[in-house]
Amino acid sequence: MLTVRARALADGRLSPSIDDVMALAEPVLQHRMALTFAARADGKTIPQLLKNIKERIA
């Protein structure tokens, strides 16, 4: 949330938007997630997973 708020402030806005969240979701969450062995065996990746989540939200 702090990163999203900082991005909004850097753009001259006082409150963040969903666009701020979407722009920062992958870089912020990528290092905080881990895949199960089964997911890795199926060839799934964290960037792919985050992309699928973003597509479902947007």
CA-wise closest residue to 21 among 7, 42, 31, 39: 7
Q: Give the DSSP letter of residue 31.
A: G
The answer to whether 30 touches 47, Cβ cutoff 8 Å, is yes
Mean pLDDT of 38-56: 93
Return d(Cα 13, Cα 35) in angstroms, integer.
Answer: 36
Return d(Cα 7, Cα 37) in angstroms, integer.
Answer: 35
Please tell me the predicted confidence (pLDDT) of residue 13: 97
Please tell me the predicted confidence (pLDDT) of residue 57: 85
Please tell me the predicted confidence (pLDDT) of residue 46: 93
pLDDT in tens, 10-45: 999 999 999 999 999 888 888 899 999 999 999 999
Return d(Cα 42, Cα 40) in angstroms, integer.
Answer: 5
